[in-house]
């Protein structure tokens, strides 16, 4: 099902994972559909240009963001919404996942505002610049009340709830050195590993709904049941024939080759939920704790030097 290309580059991507939804081209309004169809013809998986793969597009997005940040006056937001997207072609159907960079920048700004020390925040993004960005966000929200991001990002870990839509059969691991040639001029650079899950939206929704029912009966106040509800609500925002992808992104660089090759997080969570539905609470708890402890160890690396 997956179309796989690994990109060679000397620039490491951020230590972040991404949960993406690709909607079929037919799901977009006519004007947007024409734009994305033309975009896919130039940049999609069958295009001759470099950047045709999801991995290459992610690298291009990173470079664009870095270019904005290293300017003399860093821009809090892009001047306008991105007209670029991740593209997949599966079984003859074209799927589009818009970058929606401006919307995601507002979300990242909110996360930074609530999570970073004030002194650091004021140094990186002066209050006046933040005020302009926040005012623009409120105006945009009033004009686009139903807007939602196609991409969620998590830094330094994959939240356990993100594995709920997937099974072990959705896993695709590409070892380092197994990819195709990267971008022009980078063919002599080392390939890096890739790990992602990809599944149809209908299957993702069924898995999340089953997990939510089992968790609500067993641990109605648990963190994972709240996470299942959150992920389920987000998935409901999209076309029912979409694709859902969990991409480990730059987190592959935090995991050694052996750990990455052996990682079966979605399958482990699935086993735990199966045990929970069978009434084996002890096995369900063991599976959940093993999974959370392992990812907390990865998260702890953000404090390493």
Confidence check: pLDDT of 19 > 60: yes
Q: Checking DSSP bridges between strand 85-90 and strand 93-98, what pairing results, if any?
A: antiparallel
The answer for residues whose C-beta is within 8 angstroms of residue 287's C-beta and 6 or more apart is 268, 269, 271, 272, 275
Structure pTM?
A: 0.80
pLDDT of residue 303: 78
Q: 19: burial class by Cβ within 10 Å (0-12, 13-18, 19+)?
A: buried
Q: How much is the pLDDT for 190? A: 45
Tens-place pLDDT, residues 161-213: 999 999 999 999 998 876 544 433 333 334 678 899 999 999 999 999 999 99
Q: What pLDDT shows up at residue 186?
A: 39
Helix and strand totals (H; E) in the chain: 10, 7
List the structure tokens of 226. Answer: 């709240």
More confident position, 60 or 92: 92
Residue 131 pLDDT: 78
Q: How does pLDDT run across 257-277, given as a tens digit for each residue?
A: 888 999 999 999 999 999 999
pLDDT at residue 4 above 50?
Answer: no
99 or 165: whose pLDDT is higher? 165
Of all residues in the chain, what percent are helix, strand and coil, respectively (each to 5)?
50, 15, 35
Q: What is the pLDDT of residues 124-134, one digit of tens each?
A: 677 877 777 77
In angstroms, the CA 207 to CA 220 distance is 18
3-state secondary structure of 234: helix
Beta-strand ranges (E) seen in the chain are 16-24, 85-90, 93-98, 151-155, 171-174, 194-200, 243-247
Residue-level pLDDT at 67: 56
Neighbours of 176 (CB within 10 A): 14
- The reported pLDDT for the residue numbered 196 is 95
- Predicted pLDDT at 188: 35
Confidence of residue 236 (pLDDT cuts 50, 70, 90): very high
How high is the pLDDT of residue 39? 92
8 pLDDT band (50/70/90 cuts)? very low
State pLDDT tens for residues 100-117: 776 667 666 666 666 677
pLDDT confidence of residue 256: 79
Q: What is the pLDDT of residues 24-71, one digit of tens each?
A: 999 999 989 999 999 999 876 665 433 345 666 666 666 665 555 555
| Nearby residues of 289 by Cβ (< 8 Å), 6 or more positions away | none
Mean pLDDT of 231-238: 97
Q: Look at residue 5 and tell me whether its pLDDT is greater than 50.
A: no
């Amino acid at each position: 099902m997956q179309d796989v290309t690994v990109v060679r580059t000397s620039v490491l991507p951020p230590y972040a994972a991404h949960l993406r939804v690709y909607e079929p081209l037919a799901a977009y309004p006519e004007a947007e559909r024409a734009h994305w169809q033309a975009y896919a013809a130039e940049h999609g998986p069958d295009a001759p240009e470099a950047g045709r793969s999801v991995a290459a597009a992610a690298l291009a997005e990173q470079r664009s963001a870095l270019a904005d940040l290293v300017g003399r006056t860093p821009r809090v937001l892009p001047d306008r919404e991105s007209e670029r997207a991740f593209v997949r072609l599966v079984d003859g159907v074209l799927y589009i996942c818009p970058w929606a960079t401006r919307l995601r920048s507002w979300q990242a700004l909110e996360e930074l505002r609530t999570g970073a020390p004030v002194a650091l925040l004021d140094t990186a993004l002066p209050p006046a610049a933040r005020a302009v960005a926040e005012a623009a966000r409120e105006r945009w929200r009033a004009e686009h009340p139903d807007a939602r991001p196609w991409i969620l990002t998590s830094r330094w870990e994959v939240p356990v709830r993100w594995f709920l839509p997937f099974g072990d059969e959705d896993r695709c691991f590409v070892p380092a050195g197994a990819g195709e040639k990267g971008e022009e001029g980078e063919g002599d650079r080392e390939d890096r590993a890739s790990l992602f899950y990809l599944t149809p939206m209908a299957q993702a929704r069924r898995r999340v709904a089953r997990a939510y029912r089992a968790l609500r009966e067993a641990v109605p106040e648990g963190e994972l049941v709240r996470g299942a509800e959150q992920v389920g609500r987000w998935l409901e925002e999209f076309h029912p024939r979409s694709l859902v992808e969990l991409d480990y992104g730059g987190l592959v660089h935090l995991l050694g080759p052996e750990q990455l090759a052996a990682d079966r997080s979605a399958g482990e969570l699935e086993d735990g939920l199966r045990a929970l539905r069978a009434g084996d609470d002890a096995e369900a708890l063991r599976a959940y704790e093993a999974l959370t402890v392992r990812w907390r160890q990865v998260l702890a690396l953000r404090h390493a030097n």
